[in-house]
Amino acid sequence: MPIQNSDAPSSKAKLRRKGTNKSPKASVPASSSWMELEEPTMRALKVYALDPSAGNYIGNVMSVNVKWERNLKPGPVGTKIAVVDYDAANDRYYPPVDLNDHRILARGGLDPSESDPRFHQQMVYAVASETIEKFEAALGRRIRWRRADRPPGAEEGESATWRKTEDIWVLNLFPHAMVQANAFYSPEAKGILFGYFAAQKTNQGQNLPGQRVFTCLSHDIVAHEVTHAIIDGIRTYFTEPTNPDVLAFHEGFADLAALFSHFSHKEALLDTIQKTGGRLYQFELKPDAAPTGASSAPRKDSVHATDGEVDLTAQMAIRNPLIELAKQFGEASGMNRGLRSALGIRPNSNDIQTRVNDAHFRGSILVAAVFDAYFSVYIKRTADLFRVYRAGGGSSNPEELPGPLAELLAEQASTTASEFFQICARALDYCPPVDITFGDYLRALVTVNLDLKPIDGSGIRDALMQAFRVRGIYPENASFFSQDALSWPRVPKWTHPPCPGALPPVKAVITHPKTKKKAMTNLVFGNPNGLTREEKDINGQILRQYAQDNAARLGFDPDRSLAAEFKPYAPSFHPVFRIAPDGSLRIDMVVELVQTKKVPFDKNVPDAGSFPFRGGVTLIISAPEVGFGLRRGIVGDAEVRFAIRKPLTEGEGNLRKARQREYHMAMGLLNGNTDDPKHFQVNFGLLHQGF
Amino acid sequence: MAKNTAKRTAKKATRTGASTTRTGRSTTRKQAAAKATRKPRKPARPSKPDIGGGKVEGVLRVRMYRIGFGDFFLLTVPTKTGPQHILIDCGVHAGNIKTMDECVKDLVKETGGKLALVIATHYHADHLSGFASNYDDFAQFEVGGVWITNRLDPGDSGAAKFHAQISSLANQLRLQLGARKDPAGAQALDKVQNALGIQLGAGEVGNAKALKLLTEGFKNKPKTSYYQGGDDPELPEVLKGAITAQLLAPSPKDSGGTFADADNKKEQYLAAAAEGGLPDTERLTPFEKEWPATARDYPTRAFQEYRTTEQIENDQNGSPKAMEKVLRAAQPDVLLAMADALDGTLNNQSLVILFTCQGKKLLFVGDAQWGNWSYWLYGKKVTGADPGITKNAKEILGSIDFYKVGHHGSTNATPIPAVSAISEKCVAMCSTESGDPDRKRPYGDLDKGTEVPRTKLMVALEKQTKNKLVRSDWIPAGAVKASPEAKSELAKLPDNFSTGDLYIDYTFPG
């Protein structure tokens, strides 16, 4: 904790600035190197653990430690996110918080307050940073925000600007953007708009009638929206709803990230474990005091059914906060409960077939499936603890768990949660670049887990497969429902003659951006600190060339006469650094290759417009190994380990094309300007009407 | 020779008509009655000329009045008792060119004050306003029967409740939109007023007044029937044997009494909004205390995302103004979205009717939008994979001889699979108004491709029908000149079309 030298960073920065101005004062003795303190690595900031409505519910105020940004400006405006408190509804700004102010540093962040916009800014900044860091840790790389389409051809010229106006380099967060019960990520606004609204006059739950409700003060809502932005940066084409699962995946995944973050909140977790007797998946917590008079048998119904028998607030059961999303928001809009729940939908294979149009509902099927698996693993892992407890004379239906047992359970719940979050996040890299379905995501989950943790002691893979299966989510092309059939097939080694499905090592003849020489060049994997612009240029060129050289093998249209913008290209490539099971550093590159075609809605009626039809493949490429023994010092080739395809051509391509056409028509996308690419993208603002 | 073929087709028509009713028969009271009336006719059948034979008088004709942005169609059917008339909608809303009075006068003259059947496809002023504005004229009519979409059936508690909710929502929306000055707001207001039938001046609300006329205002108090897709409608006595009608939409309500399939979600959403009131758009300030601040309190870095390409190239800073503008534009406009939803919901209540007369098939779709179409194109709600349009729908579309273009030519009202299934023998009429003296276009936005009539759709339909598409605004009417786009078209009207002072006629060859 950097409290005692809270003033250090700013004064030090001042000194450095003066130093560059060659001011004689620069060499004051106080700055001699042995006395200088190291920069802190973390910044402590206070936030609501859930949202303001939880009041003084145990541990509702938590302190999060986010990465120390040295150059954090008032806003807070950092390098990856910037909070700008502009209220478009009232056309006014609110004063920005300066988190480097010593009075704030000394407190470990401003104390929670609904009436101070500066706390709102701090909370948005803290929760967004926390979410980003969790993703970065899981993915093994720095995340970036959405980049504008850079189709091939556009960047061939030397003068092409590196930065485009449609890019998002810094994600802006607007804590009070509008008067609306909504919050959404908007690529056009380059950020996330949080709304505020007045709670309903009747049926407002634990809020005052008509009180202001701020979506930016809900931990869940902030985490959810930031996750949207993160997914959009990783898979840009997932904002194009080409089948009913695409948007549902966006929504479901964002909910998953928000829900899993509940389990990293130690106090709430402990409290819930105590009050549910370790059954974290229970919908209600036992009240602090038993109801007077009435039998103390556990009730399964909600607060309202028990209202009549309750005399004290301490006797009211509350809903399990861990599995509920956005409690205040839901209650303030008259829903009597949180907006969504992790286990909102009973397992059945019917919903997935029938409820195709409601992205949020469909998303909650995904959430329920993952949480089903999570709780299965949690139960399995804690079963022994309960056995030991009972063997020691503990009751099988305990009123109150002993503290140490609760601690152990909490630890298990929280480790399992972060493990699950890691798998879920990493699976993003194993998803196809376009047209994702829940089945694809299941395959990605299984593959990533098999790829990185081949030995699955707690049966995570099995739990996931079963949980998806009972909800009717099946991958389309897998032949069996077993883990090796479900995991994406490994790409066979490149041989002469090549066996079917094999892909050549990733290298290509390109013109070096500096030396201007044409030569066979290898991919640059760089180091965890990132790639230089030149290295990125090289990689971009190699991958584009590789995609075009191997178009047919990758499921693209190999026609060389296509206009440059319709040729395959690489919208993104990320070197990934992860720890392998044996403890070594594993270096991979995750590459998206995409090709776009314009397909008319009706060949006979060309005037009816067309839609963009995309095919894509995600490549997981292993960094070359350096040989030993006889091949000592010889650097091998970058080999493709997985190629996750959504082909553009042949059988599957044609099937997808027909399906997409019909889907677009059913969604009414024929109306309006079909030449505008935005026409086929989702507008999160309208989708949400909630968040 | 020609007469013979006519006779043969007519005979065929009667037979197919009869078979349609037979297959569609169930054991409801209505049909039992129909059966009873049909019975005596059956033995008469062998003596051919009796029904639809040489004795029928008159020709099969569709008259489209030019009233502006609205529908006013008169279908004249030859029967053995002379020509009989079916009136399908009578209304104008935005783009009113003020010819309604004259058109109704012409209607009186043409029909002699007698209409065999009056059909109101859905609850929108541009299909109903004439019944209200010219209430007194219409009250003098003798009418054989009235058909109304069952979504307006006061006897159905679900429908009635929903309708009341929609109206209250529309009223709330109107009040809030009324204060707005922006063009988008004005268009949304138009939509809402269309739903209420306002603009007809003080007094009774327009659409309600029109509905009153239809249900109790005609001189002879004809029977009013409420129908939906799949119903077997009861034709007035005079039309029996001369024409058959099949109802394709709106989709039937499910047994629970809620609205089924097609636009269930939208309807529920609207209903929820109507119950809970509109979202609060009053000025709401987040904090009680003043927190004075300006953009200058923020570092310039906060606005770097909003730079133009030029600013990026010249390494200039972004401006807060640019950010503010983007943010204002990103505000979802709840009111506009709701006005749209309201408009679509009512359009989807449209009664879609397929008439068969003398072997010709005529399709009147009201303002049906996708949800409505999908019900009978696909036989169910369609989202994911395409099941292919049903054989039945393909057959119907491939066989029609006349198509009343839905929703004044907006794209959302004629899906592309429908356009491409239409055969080239088909003739199409579109009642619309592309130029408006006050505003350039009554609806939509050319830049966004939502203009009405939609140019692309018009072109596609023209191509599909081999240039047999005719628009109401191609003729001058009253003081209004023909649409400038139409000048070249009018000179070469397709065969069998003719024009009057206020209308375009299409007379079926035969």
- For chain B positions 343-372, those within 8 Å of chain A (CB to CB) are 370
Give the H or E element holding residue A588: strand A585-600
Chain B: closest CA distance from residue A102 (Å) = 19
Q: Best residue in B383, B446, B465 to probe A by mutation, most A CBs within 10 Å?
A: B383
Tokens of A518: 């044409």
Query: What is the distance between the alpha carbons of residues A400 and A406, in angstroms, rounded to a whole number?
Result: 9
Q: Would the CB atoms of B307 and A673 count as touching at under 8 Å?
A: no
Helix pair A403-428, A266-276: axis angle to 10 deg: 120
Hey, how many other C-beta atoms are within 10 angstroms of the C-beta on B108?
Answer: 16
- pLDDT in the model for residue B49: 37
**B290: contact with A, CB 8 A cutoff:** no
Best of A81, A85, A86, A657 to disrupt the B interface by mutation (most B CBs within 10 Å)? A86
| Cβ-based contacts of A176 with chain B (< 8 Å) | 286
Amino acid in position A167: D
- Mean pLDDT computed over B62-87: 92
Residue numbers in B near A334 (CB within 8 A): 276
Q: Do A670 and B323 touch (CB under 8 A)?
A: no
pLDDT 10s digits, A473-497: 888 777 777 888 888 988 888 888 8
Phi, psi of A102 (to 5 degrees): -65, -30
pTM comes to 0.70
Greater model confidence, B177 or A18: B177
Give pLDDT, residue A269. 85
Tell whether the model's pLDDT for residue B76 goes beyond 90: yes
Better-scored residue on pLDDT, B5 or B198: B198
Smallest CA–CA distance, residue A77 to chain B, in Å, is 6
Q: CA-to-CA distance for B453 and B459, rounded, in angstroms?
A: 10
Q: According to the model, what pLDDT value does residue B484 have?
A: 66
Beta strands B146-149 and B61-65 are unpaired
Neighboring chain B residues of A658 at a CB cutoff of 8 Å: 386
Choose between A26 and A271: higher pLDDT. A271
Q: For the segment B3-38, what is each residue's pLDDT rounded down to a tens digit?
A: 444 444 444 444 443 333 333 334 444 444 444 444
In this predicted complex, what is the ipTM?
0.78
Query: Which one of B275, B333, B416, B452 makes the best mutation probe of the A interface by having the most chain A beta carbons within 10 Å?
Result: B416
A602 touching chain B per CB within 8 A: yes
Cβ-Cβ contacts under 8 Å, B450 against chain A: 671-672
Nearest Cα residue to A256 out of A422, A142, A376, A486: A422
What percent of chain B is modeled with pLDDT above 70? 69
What pLDDT is attached to residue B28? 43
From B449's Cα to the closest Cα of chain A, the distance in A is 4
Q: pLDDT digit string (tens) for A609-626?
A: 778 888 999 999 988 877
Contacts of A686 in chain B (CB under 8 A): 332, 337
Phi-psi region of B446 (alpha: psi -120 to 50; beta: other; left: phi over 0): alpha
Determine the distance in angstroms separating the CA of A406 from the nearest CA of chain B, rounded to an integer: 41
**A182:B456 CB<8 A:** no
| Pure H helices in A296-402 | 303-306, 327-332, 351-354, 359-391
In sign, the C-alpha dihedral spanning A460, A465, A470, A471 is: positive
Mean pLDDT of A10-34: 50
What local confidence, expressed as pLDDT, does residue B470 receive? Answer: 87
Tell me the Ramachandran region of residue B88: left when phi exceeds 0, alpha when psi lies from -120 to 50, beta otherwise.
beta
Min Cα separation B422/chain A (Å): 12
Integer Cα distance of A184 and B402 in angstroms: 47
Chain A stretch 229-248, residues whose beta carbon is closer than 8 A to a beta carbon of chain B: 243-244
Q: Give the pLDDT mean for A306-335.
A: 68
CB contact under 8 A, A170 and B293: no
Cβ atoms within 10 A of the Cβ of B425, count?
A: 14
> In angstroms, what CA-CA distances link A110 with A55, A104, A190, A628?
17, 6, 27, 57
Q: Which residues of B are less than 8 Å from A96 in CB distance?
A: 293, 297-298
Contact B60, B77 (CB under 8 A): yes
Please, which residues have CB within 8 angstroms of residue A248's CB and are 6 or more apart in sequence? A359, A360, A361, A362, A363, A365, A366, A438
Answer yes or no: is pLDDT of A601 > 80.
no
Is the model more confident about A142 or about A359?
A: A142
CB contact under 8 A, A197 and B280: yes
Query: By C-alpha distance, which of A42, A37, A41, A130 is closest to A80?
Result: A130
Instruction: Give the tens place of pLDDT for each residue, A560-596.
Output: 888 877 888 888 888 998 888 788 888 999 999 999 8
pLDDT in tens, B118-139: 999 988 888 998 998 898 999 9
Does residue B494 carry a pLDDT above 70? yes
Per cent of chain A over pLDDT 70 is 79
Asked if the Cβ–Cβ distance from B323 to A86 is below 8 Å, we say yes
Summarised one tens digit per residue, pLDDT across range A94-113 is 999 999 999 999 999 999 98
Tell me the DSSP string of B154-206.
Answer: TT-HHHHHHHHHHHHHHHHHHHHHHT--SHHHHHHHHHHHHHHTTTS-SSS-H
User: Do the strands B427-430 and B402-404 form a parallel or antiparallel pair, or are they unpaired?
Assistant: parallel
> How does A412-449 read in b/e, with b if 16+ C-beta sit within 10 Å?
bbbebbbbbbbbbbbbbbbbbbbbbbbbbbbbbbbbbb
pLDDT in tens, B456-492: 777 778 888 888 888 888 888 777 777 766 655 556 7
Query: Are residues A189 and B326, on separate chains, in Cβ contact within 8 Å?
Result: yes
Res B304: pLDDT: 87
Inform me whether the C-beta atom of residue B419 falls under 8 Å from chain A C-beta atoms.
Answer: yes
Nearest to A525 by CA among A581, A587, A443: A587
- A493 or B262, greater pLDDT: A493
Query: B327 and A88: CB-CB below 8 Å?
Result: yes
Query: Is the model's pLDDT at A680 over the cut of 80?
Result: no
DSSP β-ladder status, B427-430 and B469-471: parallel
pLDDT tens-digit readout, B213-229: 899 999 999 999 998 88
Provide the pLDDT for residue B107: 93
Between A221 and B481, the higher pLDDT residue: A221
Q: Inform me whether the pLDDT recorded for A505 exceeds 70.
A: yes
DSSP string, A543-559: HHHHHHHTHHHHTS---
Q: Mean per-residue pLDDT for B415-419?
A: 72
Q: How big is the CA angle at A444 (ends A438 and A445), to the nearest 5 degrees?
A: 90
Of B301, B332, B420, the CB nearest to A77: B301
In chain A, whose CA is at the least distance from the CA of B338?
A686
Residue A518: which residues within 8 A CB-CB, separation 6 or more? A509, A510, A511, A512
Q: Which of residues 260-279 of B touch A (CB under 8 A)?
A: 265, 276, 279
Do B284 and A197 lie within an 8 Å CB cutoff? Answer: yes
Spatial distance between the Cα atoms of B412 and B302, rounded to a whole number of angstroms: 41
In DSSP terms, which residues pair with A619 in a beta bridge?
A591, A643
Chain Cα centroid distance, residue A248: 14
Of A74, A164, A665, the CB nearest to B298: A74
Of A665 and A466, the structure prediction assigns the larger pLDDT to A466
Mean pLDDT of B168-176: 75
Is residue B2 over pLDDT 70? Answer: no
- The yes-or-no verdict on residue A159 having pLDDT over 50 is no
**Does B301 sit within 8 Å of A607, measured CB to CB?**
no
**Percentage of chain B modeled with pLDDT above 90:** 20
